Amino acid sequence: MEFQMWAVFAFILVGLVFYVFERAAMEVTSLGIICALLIFFHFFPVIHDGVPALTPGRILQGFANPALITVLALLVMGQGMVRTGVLDRGANLLLGVGGGSLTVSLLLILVAAMAVSAFLNNIPVVVIFIPIMQALAHRYGRSASKLMIPLSYGSVLGGMTTLIGSSTNLLVNSALIEVKATPFGFFDFTIPGLVMASVGLIYVLLVAPRLLPDRSGMADSIVDGDGKHFVAQITVTAESKLVGKGAPGGHFSVLPDKTLRMVQRGEQAILPPFEDFTVRPGDILVVSATRKALGNFLAEDPGLLYPDLEEDRDVPGQVTSGGRWLEGGQALAEVMVAPASGLAGLTLPQIGFRYKTHCIVLGLQRRSRMVRERITGIRLRAGDVLLVQGQPDDIAALKRFRDVVLLEWSAEELPVLDHAKRATLIFITVLALAASGVVPIVVAALTGAAAMVVVGVLNVRQAFQAVDPKIVTTIGAALALGVTLQETGGARYIAQGLLTTLGDAGPATILSLFFLLVAGLSNIISTKTAAVLFTPIAVDLAVAVGVEPQVFAVAVVFAANCSFASPLGYQTNLLVMGPGHYKFIDFVRAGTPLIVLMWIVFSLFAPWYYGI
């Protein structure tokens, strides 16, 4: 099988070149590798006991691998947690308990991100915490470039502590099952993982920000999207929490991030200052706020922001008399009144915007002057930007409405806070079932993902949108390469080569150097590829030196996650590149010392902990 073995090495090398230099999309490269393996082993089969060992079913079985199914199910569950605002609201609470100290606030946010990453896929966690880090940087006058890489590193360190904390961990476990080795339990490497994460946290908190550049950009001074303020109006009902409240200086303590511009009380218009003003039922408050602040307010109390909703003219199937949506997910988007638009010179009630488009205008932004009147009384102009809400299909249909220009980048689905309890209950139940071993992890995760859809946290479209095709194809290709590497004897060949090179070194030395090798390569290739390719090698090395295979497999878990020195190895690094204004060298500068630190900690703790 020597010919087939070297052919697999060639496939791996070519695949790595395409991945690293992005010669094609990752999905295309991954599928190309799989097709190449299928064709090659059809004409040059590997025969074991007179039977082909690498049939198409064997090569393609990675797509039905429990690790892959678990990763995809966790992505769907993570999307449910994001959509219901559970993570977002919890993260925002941390900004209020920092005690005025940047270090304390940063520590709380990083610990929270690490804790959540131990049980959820890192990608949605980082997406949620990026605006929190931006707010933290803005509050303390620091550049976001000092904080974004620490966020990515913290999420990766947290993912090292449990079996489901990272797709890398699940793939190593799956590869162990493939080679007939004992798989990991849910908390089998939690203790060494916590030791490494704790040491890494100290570095990320105290050292990494000092190594990172103070590279400010336009986005550093902006916390909420692009910082635009929209004029919106709030209709105060008798049961509103605003009744009886004052607004000294135009700011309500119960309406954070919103500035009061005017109050319409019957025929009377109340203008600043508002020192003696007290809210009454029936008041219409004209406020100025960013899109994010309005979106958060809308998610918590949808009925208050809808201007001029007449009870007898609701859009069938969309709005009730209280202004609440009956069905379907909701989204926010921005549209600009087009030049020569038929809307120019008309007010929203005159236009009948919500009857023509099935979308409601929540706010208006006009750059030329400060608006101090109800948006239902404002005559629109070309160039005005309207903040609109509607079902995703209705938002998309605005592209065909010639009087406005849909700013497609602005479309964003609203959180559904009334489903937050359901999502949290499902998530906690899945964790309890998986951690206790009552059912296999893949069963618990897949059932939890299905439950998110059944109870209405997500619809089928949103669930499928959470499934990243890059993850599906890359993991499938990595597992196919791992299988062929094992069956052709490539894993054993590399293991014997390492043993020959290391000579008479003891198991602890071999374990340490093996960790360093995998950690280095995980920054060149993806962590998932490193996990799948090196697990069979780890098992053969362990057998050769007389150590339990799990010990070397743990080294693969931690080392493959050490993709700190490159944005290519781990997707969370790519996520923070834009908000942090980073260059490739920034990851090298901050990540290389962390890799060395993790190597030293593992080399000292693991041999003692595992008794080798």
| Backbone phi, psi, residue 235, to 5° | -95, 120
The pLDDT of residue 479 is 79
Whether the bond into 273 is cis, omega within 30 of 0: yes
- Provide the H-helix boundaries in 437-468: 441-454, 460-465
| Mean per-residue pLDDT, 161-187 | 86
Does residue 305 carry a pLDDT above 70? Answer: no
Percent of the chain with pLDDT over 90: 19
User: Of 338 and 492, which is predicted with more confidence?
Assistant: 338
- Provide the H-helix boundaries in 84-189: 86-95, 102-117, 122-139, 148-159, 167-178
Does residue 571 carry a pLDDT above 80? Answer: no
Distance CA 479, CA 178 (A): 10
Does residue 302 carry a pLDDT above 70? Answer: no
Are the CB atoms for 451 and 75 separated by under 8 Å?
A: no
Q: Give the residue from 55, 22, 16 showing the smallest Cα distance to 38.
A: 55
User: Of 192 and 576, which is predicted with more confidence?
Assistant: 192
Does residue 224 carry a pLDDT above 50? Answer: no
Counting runs of H as helices and runs of E as strands, what totals does the chain give? 25, 10
Does residue 263 carry a pLDDT above 90? Answer: no
Distance CA 562, CA 593 (A): 11
Q: What are the residues whose beta carbons fall under 8 Å from the beta carbon of 267, sequence distance 6 or more?
A: none
The pLDDT of residue 78 is 78
- Strand, coil or helix: 386: strand
The DSSP line for 177-210 is HHTTPPPP-TTTTHHHHHHHHHHHHHHHHHTHHH
The pLDDT of residue 201 is 95
**For residue 596, what are the CA distances in angstroms to 23, 110, 562?**
31, 21, 10
DSSP 414: P
Mean confidence (pLDDT) of the chain: 80
Are the CB atoms for 167 and 560 separated by under 8 Å?
A: no
112-126, 213-227, 335-349, 424-438: lowest mean pLDDT where?
213-227
Plot region of 205 (φ>0 → left; ψ -120 to 50 → alpha; else → beta): alpha
What are the structure tokens assigned to 601, written together? 């900690």
Cα torsion through 537, 539, 545, 547, rounded to 10: 150
Are the CB atoms for 232 and 294 separated by under 8 Å?
A: yes
In tens, the pLDDT along 245-254 reads 877 765 666 6
Write down the pTM of the prediction.
0.65
The pLDDT of residue 515 is 94
The pLDDT of residue 431 is 80
In tens, the pLDDT along 446-479 reads 999 999 999 888 888 888 887 878 778 877 887 7
Band of pLDDT at residue 66, cut at 50, 70 and 90? confident
| Backbone phi, psi, residue 407, to 5° | -85, 90
Does residue 560 carry a pLDDT above 70? Answer: yes
| Mean per-residue pLDDT, 124-139 | 75
The pLDDT of residue 474 is 77
pLDDT winner (highest mean) among 69-73, 86-90, 269-273, 603-607: 603-607
Report the amino acid identity of residue 553. A
Burial class (CB in 10 A: 0-12, 13-18, 19+), 171: buried
Q: Taking the chain, what is the end-to-end CA distance rounded to the nearest angstrom?
A: 34
The pLDDT of residue 413 is 67
* Domains of the chain, start order: 68-221+442-469 (no CATH), 229-415 (3.30.70.1450)
Distance CA 385, CA 375 (A): 12
Does residue 327 carry a pLDDT above 50? Answer: no
| Backbone phi, psi, residue 45, to 5° | -70, 155
Does residue 311 carry a pLDDT above 60? Answer: no
Does residue 56 carry a pLDDT above 90? Answer: yes
Distance CA 315, CA 391 (A): 12
| Backbone phi, psi, residue 461, to 5° | -60, -45
pLDDT winner (highest mean) among 35-39, 67-71, 541-545: 35-39
Distance CA 481, CA 495 (A): 16
In tens, the pLDDT along 401-416 reads 888 888 766 666 666 6
Distance CA 165, CA 119 (A): 5
| Mean per-residue pLDDT, 348-355 | 82
In tens, the pLDDT along 589-602 reads 999 999 999 999 99
Distance CA 381, CA 339 (A): 9
